[in-house]
Chain A
Amino acid sequence: NAGVTQTPKFQVLKTGQSMTLQCAQDMNHEYMSWYRQDPGMGLRLIHYSVGAGITDQGEVPNGYNVSRSTTEDFPLRLLSAAPSQTSVYFCASSYSWGTSQETQYFGPGTRLLVL
């Protein structure tokens, strides 16, 4: 049981390039989400999904796209990278969505630098 996995661990991009951050979980969790973590700002929600085929925007969705074709995978796409997207990105999952006591399980993160 690997939990939540993320690839790559590190990535350097040039402004304007596109890329996909991969996230997978093997716990059959319904709810998956993407956060970015910046110094002094905690974690901010980018997009989330309450099940396959269902996605919605979080607090900071601009410049990012997501899709959820399977329960296991939830990739995050940067359409045209900008220096402001330099951050550490975390994927998280939880068993369900709909209670206030769910435990979110986080992946190890992807460190992205946009030059």
Chain B
Amino acid sequence: TQLLEQSPQFLSIQEGENLTVYCNSSSVFSSLQWYRQEPGEGPVLLVTVVTGGEVKKLKRLTFQFGDARKDSSLHITAAQTGDTGLYLCAGVDTGNQFYFGTGTSLTVIP
């Protein structure tokens, strides 16, 4: 059962542009994590959001947890080629079980 849907699935943009990736579910999560995965490597944690409505910033990346704790978004300002990768959201349920989203593959073109 896939609980988390990410959109878009693929995204190709020019360097300097802004973008937003969405992670949606009908389930409520205790927390929501975002990971980035580069080719040939395992995912690496970027951020964890816990409180409904919470916003966290990591340099040019802004993460938001939905008020109802069912969805999240990742916004990148002025994308750079180093942002290229697969972005995965992961919801943690009340039993502390992780459920990963379907992934968004981002390519930033120089």
Contact = CB atoms under 8 A, between A and B. Distances in A.
Contacts of A58: 97
A44 B100 contact: yes
A43 B43 contact: yes
A44 B1 CA distance: 9
Contacts of A97: 96
A34 interface: no
A13 to B, nearest CB: 20
A42 B42 contact: no
B101 A106 contact: no
B92 interface: yes
Given A40-B102, A42-B101, A101-B48, A106 B96 contact: no
Interface in A86-110: 90, 92, 97-104, 106-109
Contact of B45 (A40, A45, A90, A103): A103
Interface string A1-15: 000100000000000
Given A42-B4, A108-B42, A101 B50 contact: yes
Nearest to A56: B97
Interface residues of B, number: 27
B80 interface: no
Interface string B60-72: 0000000000000
B40 A43 contact: no
A109 B31 CA distance: 25
B102 A106 contact: no
Contacts of A33: 98
B42 A92 contact: yes
Interface string A27-48: 0000001010000111111000
Contact of A43 (B30, B48, B88): B88
B102 A42 contact: yes
B30 to A, nearest CB: 4
